[in-house]
Chain A
Amino acid sequence: MSISQQTATPEPALTVGAKPRDNTGPDALPARQPRRKWWHRISVNCWRLIALAVFLIAWHLISIPAGKLLLPSPLAVFPAFLDLLRSGQLIGATAGSLVVFSGGYLLAVLVGIPAGVLMGGFRRVGETFDIYVNGLNSTPRVAFVPLIVLWFGLDIGAKIVIVWVTAVFPIIINTYAGVLNTDKDLIEAARSFGANQRQIFRYIMLPSAIPYIVAGLRIGASLAIIGTVVAELYTALSGLGHMLDQFGNSFQTAKYFVPLLVLIGIGTAISQSLKALERRLARWKTSSIEI
């Protein structure tokens, strides 16, 4: 069983201890029951809520001298949230942003993983393209926006292309790296058992790349959220990006915080679910520290 269940480290499982510790060996120390301090007995989720509460209180206190134009109190943001929710504007904008995000992100996954696998599977393909993929990955994606607008217009198609172009490269690069980083010893072991090249690829290289691929999906997802807002601000205004623009420019600061907080919520939800996916797919990995 993982070490994390024996120690006081609560979730998220900070799985330290790559080697299974053998406590039965002759030189094992006698099991020591540490005196648990009171702050160890509070779960991490509880600490998170405490941190959030401290933050909200600090926000409120700072907002008093700052005034509601520069920094409205969270107590003012909440009614604004309810207003926008009731009017339907928030739901419509969130739905619009999610369509752009998921369209572009899914396309990036559908293109990125096979492209990375192809580059990893065929050495020449990988060696040929990795310089270009890395080059494009280091280029600020906003630089492509005017070109995309020129080619695809201002509507949803163009937005999806913008999201796609922000998310696809890290997915390709991670998948490629994952396939390349397959343990050579495992490949040789499979060969010694008579596995052919195709089987080695299918049963050794692909499974060992999965943790890398999921990490790539996480990086891609956070970039895709950035891409979504960029797309909504730089093409026809729409979605949460439009709300940011609208309330930012008209100094309705309390309302401005609403789409911002929704974006933070979406980002958190997506990265947490990808983390869960990672835990599921890579439960055989013991040595990773989750971040």
Chain B
Amino acid sequence: MILPKIEVRAVAKSFRRAGRVAESQIDALQDVSFSIAAGEFVCLIGPSGCGKTTLLRLMNGLIEPDAGEIFVDGKAGPVPGPWAGFVFQSFRLLPWRTIADNVQFPLQMRGIDASVRAERAREYLALVGLDGFDQCYPHELSGGMQQRVGLARALALQPEILLMDEPFAALDAQTRELMQIELSRIWEQRKVAVVFVTHSLDESIFLADRIILLRRRPGKVEEEIPVPFERPRWRYDIRALPEYSRLRAHLWDKIRGMVADEPQYKRIFQESA
């Protein structure tokens, strides 16, 4: 058996929340296990509060699990570093640095030579279609362009895995679809492993080799679903396929089942039943 790129084994994580009366404990994750192969594209989906972002931070090594272990290339206990490239929902570019300097930032933290850094920044800005913008400041770019910078910054580390936390959620619907195509294109060129957190069922079906569906309170793996559609998927309309509707309906049934008991949704779902 080939060693998975990253393996999450029986991981649990809880947070304490200071309340007015007493501290309460929120079980963000409990007994979560899955693994991701090198070069695989995996989407994590699930209702809000199921610990998707927490999982990404755990995989990166930004926080440690309360129980269980995470293995990267068979080694337990990941530490943040150039092996993982993080892409954030709110872009998180340094506003006082130009685009080129933003892409160079992680490389600078690694102590890489200035000339090598500059070359690398040029290469990856070109890859995301932003050549010519290197001397702009982030606030001069649109949201879509800023997230391209975020992607270039993560890729410039030449990571083995991309951790993407709802990277396109802050973009408008059109830009979002274009960015999905852009990401698939880059992924097919570079073949890094991707863990992509999203709330959008369509986004996950379009992008993923495999969808990991999580349930919440406590966060757990509900189901792992392979996505069979042929790549490249932007060459044809996958939404026209009957299998697409079936898969989407299945995912939506599951998620609706998870939230139907919540007081704010109960009324709606009972009426429609």
Contact = CB atoms under 8 A, between A and B. Distances in A.
A26 to B, nearest CB: 8
A192 B80 contact: yes
A194 B142 contact: no
A193 B155 CA distance: 11
Interface residue range, chain B: 20 to 34
A190 B81 CA distance: 10
A185 B140 contact: no
B106 A193 contact: yes
A285 B80 CA distance: 29
Interface in A1-48: 1, 18, 20, 22, 25
A284 B109 contact: no
A194 B109 contact: yes
Interface residues of A, number: 27
Nearest to B137: A284
Given A20-B139, A286-B139, A189 B80 contact: no
A191 interface: yes
A189 B96 contact: no
A189 B80 CA distance: 10
Contacts, number: 65
A194 B108 CA distance: 10
B80 A193 contact: yes
A1 B80 contact: no
Contacts of A192: 60, 62, 80, 84, 86, 163
Nearest to B144: A22
A204 interface: yes
Interface in A200-236: 203-204, 207-208, 210
Contacts of A283: 137
A189 B88 contact: yes
A282 B81 CA distance: 30
Contacts of B139: 18, 20, 284, 286
Contacts of B109: 190, 193-196, 199, 203
Interface string B17-41: 0000000000000000000000000
A282 B95 CA distance: 10
B96 A188 contact: no
Given A185-B90, A207-B96, A191 B62 contact: yes
Contacts of B86: 189, 192-193
A208 B105 CA distance: 15
Given A20-B142, A284-B96, A284-B139, A194 B88 contact: no
Contacts of B96: 207-208, 210, 282, 284
A22 B92 CA distance: 20
B141 interface: yes
A192 B172 CA distance: 27
B140 to A, nearest CB: 6
A100 B80 CA distance: 51
A191 B57 CA distance: 11
Interface string B91-111: 010111100000001101110
A289 to B, nearest CB: 15
Given A1-B140, A22-B142, A203-B105, A194 B92 contact: no
13 contacts: A1-B140, A20-B140, A185-B92, A190-B105, A192-B163, A193-B80, A193-B105, A193-B157, A194-B109, A194-B110, A203-B94, A208-B96, A210-B96
Nearest 4 CB-CB pairings of A with B: A193-B106, A189-B92, A192-B86, A194-B81
Interface of A: 1, 18, 20, 22, 25, 185-186, 188-196, 199, 203-204, 207-208, 210, 282-286
Interface of B: 60, 62, 79-82, 84, 86, 88, 90, 92, 94-97, 105-106, 108-110, 137-142, 157, 163, 172
